[in-house]
Amino acid sequence: MRVTLTAIKADIGSIGGHIRPSASLLKEVERSLQPHLGSDFIDFRLSYTGDDIAILMTHTHGTDNPLIHQIAWDAFKAAADVAKKEGLYGAGQDLLKDAFSGNIRGLGPGIAEMEFEERKSEPFLLFAADKTDPGAFNLPLYLAFCDPMYCSGLLLSPNMFKGFKFEIMDVSYTEGDKVIALFAPEELYDIAALLRDPERYVVKAVYSRTTGEIAAVASTTRLHNIAGKYVGKDDPILLVRAQGSFPATGEILEPYALVPYVGGFMRGSHQGPLMPVKRNSSVSFFDGPPIVSCTAYCVKDGKLSEEADAFDHPFWDYVREIASKKAIELRRQGFYGNAMLPYGELEYGGIVERLKALEGKFEIRH
Ligand code: F6R
Ligand code: MG
Ligand code: MG
């Protein structure tokens, strides 16, 4: 059967700051989605990661379908009204436009969608991150799909010998989608040259070169490109198919043990280690650290299996401890150097105004 997975996430308000949504928001999203279930909109699941709610939908409408996008948009809208009534912080924050115009892209919520013919068994992973941006997935995807040090299948499984195609987007471009296709392994250094700059170049999708099938797709929204000003970090989501001609689930997960420093954290303006957390975790320390959750599923005839929380394991407790240590270590230097993002990436304009005011007080001495 041909099925479409649509994952949409939005921050529509949270308790006590930018911490996590309330149970009543999740209930409202569910109440709004439920009546639409039928033979074409087959199934859905909800979760939250920090202050973002993620809706995972399965259906037969294909990607960029107005009906499916509208159902999700209406559910977020309804829940944002509840958030306003409850006085939650940042109520409706990611719903940047008032009216729905046929596609949720460009309206604020992050979206990752893929359509494919279901395999006999179709395992896949939904990653959701908070207090960071879509570039946070650059390194984990590079290592899982390009590097035999992480993905042993590149050496051991003939299904993967041909490697993968990467679609990479330049998110600084605002007139449309500026995308390049590059092929691993031949163009590895070109891929690395782009992915090293995660605030500008972001993995949009990955395809198997053996089967041509889609392997991964990430949300690539830049909220401040839409709103023209800071309205929160982009807090991305990512869908990855696993096993067979794709990396095994454990190969896709392994890079997250690196806890790389990513942009985001407090006020979307700092660097922090990307901590792998359990589903439905809040943020805390310095509005962070940046977190990522991973839920594993199988899908059969569009029906989702029970979920498995991929980072709910003693191994990741140890990794979380490393992430905490890395976060504390970098936070010790406060605003200084690499702890805070460069000017172009600061999500609050305050410091720019401050510097402008100081500029007039400089004097040139010869
Ligand atoms: C980061 C984030 C938070 C806020 C911070 C200040 O993405 O959402 O760290 O930037 O809590 O929030 P405001 O400016 O709303 O008081
Ligand atoms: Mg927020
Ligand atoms: Mg968020």
Q: Is 244 left (phi over 0), alpha (psi -120 to 50) or beta?
A: left
Q: Is the C-beta atom of 17 inside 6 A of ligand 1?
A: yes
230 pLDDT more than 60: no
Kindly state the percentage of the chain with pLDDT values over 90.
86
ipTM: 0.98
pLDDT band at 96 (very low <50, low <70, confident <90, very high): confident
**pLDDT tens digits for range 127-176:** 999 999 999 999 999 999 999 999 999 999 999 999 999 999 998 888 88
Domain boundaries, the chain: 2-357
Separation CA 205–CA 167 (nearest Å): 5
pTM, rounded to two decimals: 0.96
Closest by CA position to 240, among listed 104, 112, 61: 112
Return the pLDDT at 365: 96
| Ion ligand 2, residue ranges at CB < 5 A | 11, 18, 51, 232
Distance 226 CA to ligand 1 centre (A): 18
Contacts by residues 255-259 (CB-CB < 8 Å, ≥ 24 positions apart): 255/139, 255/140, 255/143, 255/144, 255/150, 256/140, 256/292, 256/294, 256/311, 256/319, 257/315, 257/319, 258/139, 258/140, 258/143, 259/319, 259/322, 259/323, 259/326
**Which of 113-127, 272-286, 331-345, 347-361 is the least confident region?**
347-361
Mean pLDDT of 278-283: 98
Q: Is the C-beta atom of 287 inside 6 A of ligand 1?
A: yes
11 catalytic residue (yes or no): yes
* 55, two tokens: 């809706």
Return the pLDDT at 152: 98
Please tell me the total number of residues recorded for the chain in this structure.
366
Closest by CA position to 139, among listed 186, 201, 182, 187: 201
Q: Is the C-beta atom of 89 inside 6 A of ligand 1?
A: no
Return the pLDDT at 229: 63
